[in-house]
Amino acid sequence: MTATTGPDGAPKRRVFSGVQPTGKLHIGNYVGALAVWAREQHRFDSLFCVVDLHALTVPEAVDPGGLRAKVREVAALYVAAGVDPDRSTIFVQSEVPAHSELAWLLTCTTPLGWLQRMTQFKAKSGRLGSVGTGLLCYPVLQAADILLYETDLVPVGEDQRQHVELARDVALRFNSLFGEVFVPPEAMIRSGGARVMGLDDPTAKMSKSTGERAPGHSVGLLDPPAVARKAIMGARTDSGREFRYDEATPGVRNLIELYEALGGAESRDALAERLDREGKGYGHLKAEVAERVEATLAPIREAYARIVADPAYLDGILARGAERARDLAAPVLRRAQRAAGVGT
């Protein structure tokens, strides 16, 4: 049962976040998003969504026959990574039609220039050449996802900061046009590890789609131990021996941040001092990171195997989650429609 009040009886603040069911979820998605969700869920009334409508924004990248299976994989990974379905609401975006309905109202009030300025749109449209309108409008759908639940905080990686700020602007603009309808949300971003970089190219963020194409780019949450280790041991660094974070090159910094974000008693400074004292090279740093990655992934892999062995368990979580999400979303959508002069 989702607890909506804290020990003092006051309503808990609302958290909403999601992952697109595209590509293979990687250690960056875990560190930047899933780990924060799991860690913070007891403090908030949390909703975690598998945003399958977002996956359609690059239709060429989606296999329609495989999308439903991918949705279930991502939902199972939420639970395997520590999101407690008795505490948090887990659901699939397309099972709550209010997301699409609100997105239209917000599309009509969002200036085109705001969307054309989005860094992700510029990067993806530049890479793809020809793009659908959905790619441009996807941050508005994301704003609808967030605003439907009167969300206070959105735990995301650094790459999504701009979209959460846009959702805030979209809320304020709608409110200024039609009255106080929406709660303006804020991003919740961890201080270290919010932008895990590609292992093959530490100047680009680790990304699901690149991970599909380039085996050494990322570590997938379901990668076998030998594959994960190989990717980390092959990470691009340089020929130096600098372990101090402030002095290190991007590839080494990325490994140090990953090491720190994956927990353990030793800080980045203590690690640098020890490796320096022991006269070790970068191979040793990589081995230590690989160990931490394996310590993180082993329980996730085991929990995932248990979850997918019982399809009815996941069905129940998603059915309960969609029901609660629909109940929460309906009055907010109605409020927005009435304010804009449509609906009954």
**Residues binding ligand AQP (CB under 6 A):** 19-20, 22-23, 28-29, 31-33, 156-157, 159-160, 194-196, 205-209
Instruction: Provide φ and ψ at 51, rounded to 5°.
Output: -90, 80
Tokens 């990574």 locate to 81
Instruction: Provide φ and ψ at 197, rounded to 5°.
Output: -95, 165
DSSP state of 159: G
Nearer of residues 191 and 239 to ligand AQP, judged by Cβ: 191
Tokens 């560190």 locate to 31
Q: Say which of 12, 70, 122, 205 is annotated catalytic.
A: 205
3-state DSSP assignment of residue 238: coil
CB of 30 to ligand AQP, least distance (A): 8
Q: Say which of 12, 24, 70, 124 is annotated catalytic.
A: 124
Nearer of residues 57 and 275 to ligand AQP, judged by Cβ: 57
CB of 288 to ligand AQP, least distance (A): 20
> Is 70 part of the annotated catalytic residue set?
no
> Is 205 part of the annotated catalytic residue set?
yes
Nearer of residues 127 and 306 to ligand AQP, judged by Cβ: 127
> Is 208 part of the annotated catalytic residue set?
yes
Instruction: Provide φ and ψ at 220, rounded to 5°.
Output: -75, 150
Nearer of residues 123 and 233 to ligand AQP, judged by Cβ: 123
> In which order are the strands placed within the sheet that holds 89-92?
89-92, 45-50, 14-19, 153-155, 186-188
CB of 142 to ligand AQP, least distance (A): 8
| Nearest residue (beta carbon) to ligand AQP | 32
CB of 16 to ligand AQP, least distance (A): 11
CB of 270 to ligand AQP, least distance (A): 24
Report the C-alpha gap between 230 and 232 in whole angstroms. Answer: 6
The one-letter code for the residue type at 53 is L
Backbone conformation region of residue 76, classed left if phi is above 0, alpha if psi is from -120 to 50, else beta: alpha
In sign, the C-alpha dihedral spanning 73, 75, 78, 80 is negative
Q: Are 102 and 148 in contact (CB under 8 A)?
A: yes
Report the C-alpha gap between 199 and 217 in whole angstroms. Answer: 5
Report the C-alpha gap between 171 and 110 in whole angstroms. Answer: 10
The one-letter code for the residue type at 191 is S
Nearer of residues 25 and 318 to ligand AQP, judged by Cβ: 25
The string of DSSP letters for 79-126 reads: HHTT--TTTSEEEEGGG-THHHHHHHHHHHHS-HHHHHT-HHHHHHHH
CB of 110 to ligand AQP, least distance (A): 19
Nearer of residues 28 and 85 to ligand AQP, judged by Cβ: 28
Q: Say which of 208, 230, 280, 286 is annotated catalytic.
A: 208
CB of 20 to ligand AQP, least distance (A): 4
Nearer of residues 198 and 336 to ligand AQP, judged by Cβ: 198
DSSP state of 61: G
Question: Catalytic residue numbers?
Answer: 124, 205, 208
